[in-house]
Amino acid sequence: MSKKINNLNSNTIKGVDISSVISEEDSGVHYFDEAGHQESTFKILKSDGINYIRVRVWNNPYTKSGNGYGGGNSDLEKAILIGKQASKYGMKLLVDFHYSDFWADPSKQNAPKSWRDLSYAQKQKAVYNYTLDSLQKLKHAGVDIGMAQIGNETNNRIAGTTEWPEMAGIFNSGSAAVRNVDKNILVALHFTDIQKQGNDEWISKQLHDYNVDYDVFATSYYSYWHGSLSNLTQSLSDVSRAYDKKVMVAETSYPYTYQDGDGFSNTINRNSNVTLHGLQLALNRI
């Protein structure tokens, strides 16, 4: 078990993404605390020091016949259910808008089915209205929203839009909706591939040059692909100092064992040359 880090700043986010928890529980999955007692997932996380729950939101992750695409079928309805439970146990929600019907990442940023024929101006309006409506419904349900993420790993595109001037407009449409719902909700933008030298520096400069309104520069960090912890620390520190933004790791995972747990091939093995621990220490130095 990892050792607890003492003297963390009170604003430090200690979060987990449990977007698939509703689907898992509906499939008969149960969760147990360290003593072996079956317990609410949210109660377990709260007792372990978690203060933020991240939940992805896909616009319409279903076929015309109503079959889900999988991955938890993470629509707004499930986000509300998860958010209500998170709030019940005193944890804030990070709403991760993908602006897609399924996973969005650097290689695929497909617009939702209902947006595919929209012009750029129409898409800006759709992003604003969808973000505004979703956040209002979450707040009406009593969810304590701490942060809204405008896109997921949007290095070079978002919702099918690929040029930076238009991407900036999409970001600002989402940001404007967040501000109009609640000015206390932090606006996060999320990128990845920090292993590419100068990547975060270039992206953060585009955001600055195109006057994008946001609070938090977030990155994914998977040590197998994204390099050393010192590189992570340096990259985020540079962005924070240059543009006076909050920074965070929005996604991470790292192996604690090389053993097979599910019968599928592991992405990382003993020859992968990755660190099995130490991420939290790096984040504490940022």
Catalytic residues: 153, 251
Rounded to whole angstroms, what are the CA distances from 262 to 23, 27, 257? 18, 16, 13
Tokens 């543009």 identify what position? 243
Rounded-to-integer distance, Cα 168 and Cα 248, Å:
20
CA proximity to 164, closest of 202, 111, 117, 130: 202
Give all strands of the β-sheet with 186-191 in edge-to-edge order: 15-17, 52-57, 92-97, 145-150, 186-191, 216-221, 246-252
β 145-150/186-191 pair status:
parallel
Question: In angstroms, how far apart are the furthest CA atoms of the chain?
Answer: 55
Q: Is residue 277 within 8 Å of 2, Cβ to Cβ?
A: yes
